[in-house]
Amino acid sequence: MKKLILNMQMSVDGFVGANDDHCWQLWGWGDECAWDDELKRDFNAIFETIDTILLSRKMAEEGYLTHWGNAAKKFPQDRFYAFAQRIVEAQKIVPSDKLTTSRWERTKVVSGDLPTEVIALKQGAGGNIGVFGGAGFASALIAANLVDEFQLFVNPAVLGAGRRVFDRGGFSRLKLLGSKSYASGMVVSRYARCE
């Protein structure tokens, strides 16, 4: 069965957003990237296992797919942007009751019960499913106990306030799969649900 892997940037104090200001993140949506080469290599390795992306409607509409599609075209030979090409090639699923059709390439809009849709995706063939979205989307998946692995990219920043992804519960214990610090100050910790 496929794993649902939630990728989330967060601050040291556990916030994933503060008034939609992403300047605290080491890798925002732009050409400037403070990630070091080792972190970029490791992120690309994570993406090699993913062939489907579950993406929040809001993130899709805010330009996630367009941005990384443009990055794949702009940096076609840059090994540090290999994941951008994977984003382009992957099947994308956007759960939404507001959208009826997709305006993005290789992207399907689904409506209905989110847990039912995710379980059906997980039972399909192929690689794992990467999840990208905001705090509300991530919290809904966590509360429904659908996330198999958490990849938390902890930025060297303290926000003091904002949105969190673990506010709605779902389970209380995680099993550490690995943790690694990088020269850029980022710490990436991987966790699985304790069964």
**H/E/C letters for each residue in 142-178?**
HHCCCCCEEEEEEECCCCCCCECCCCCCCCCCEEEEE
What digits encode the pLDDT tens for the residues 69-100? Answer: 888 888 888 877 788 888 888 999 999 888 88
CATH of the domain at 70: 3.40.430.10
Residue 183 CB-density burial (10 A; 0-12 exposed, 13-18 middle, 19+ buried): exposed
Percent of the chain with pLDDT over 70: 90
Residue range(s) defining the domain that contains residue 53: 4-13+34-193
The structural domain count of the chain equals 1
pLDDT band at 154 (very low <50, low <70, confident <90, very high): very high
pLDDT for res 5: 95
* Range from 87-96, 160-169, 178-187 carrying the lowest mean pLDDT: 160-169
Examine residue 62 and state whether it is found in any structural domain, yes or no.
yes
Examine residue 133 and state whether it is found in any structural domain, yes or no.
yes
Examine residue 189 and state whether it is found in any structural domain, yes or no.
yes
Examine residue 113 and state whether it is found in any structural domain, yes or no.
yes
Examine residue 125 and state whether it is found in any structural domain, yes or no.
yes
Examine residue 28 and state whether it is found in any structural domain, yes or no.
no
pLDDT for res 130: 94
Alpha-carbon gap, residue 138 to 142, rounded angstroms: 6
CA atoms within 13 A on the CB side of 53: 28
Average model confidence (pLDDT) across the chain = 86
Mean pLDDT, residues 18-42: 71
Beta 50-55 vs 149-155: how paired, if at all? unpaired
Examine residue 82 and state whether it is found in any structural domain, yes or no.
yes
Examine residue 23 and state whether it is found in any structural domain, yes or no.
no
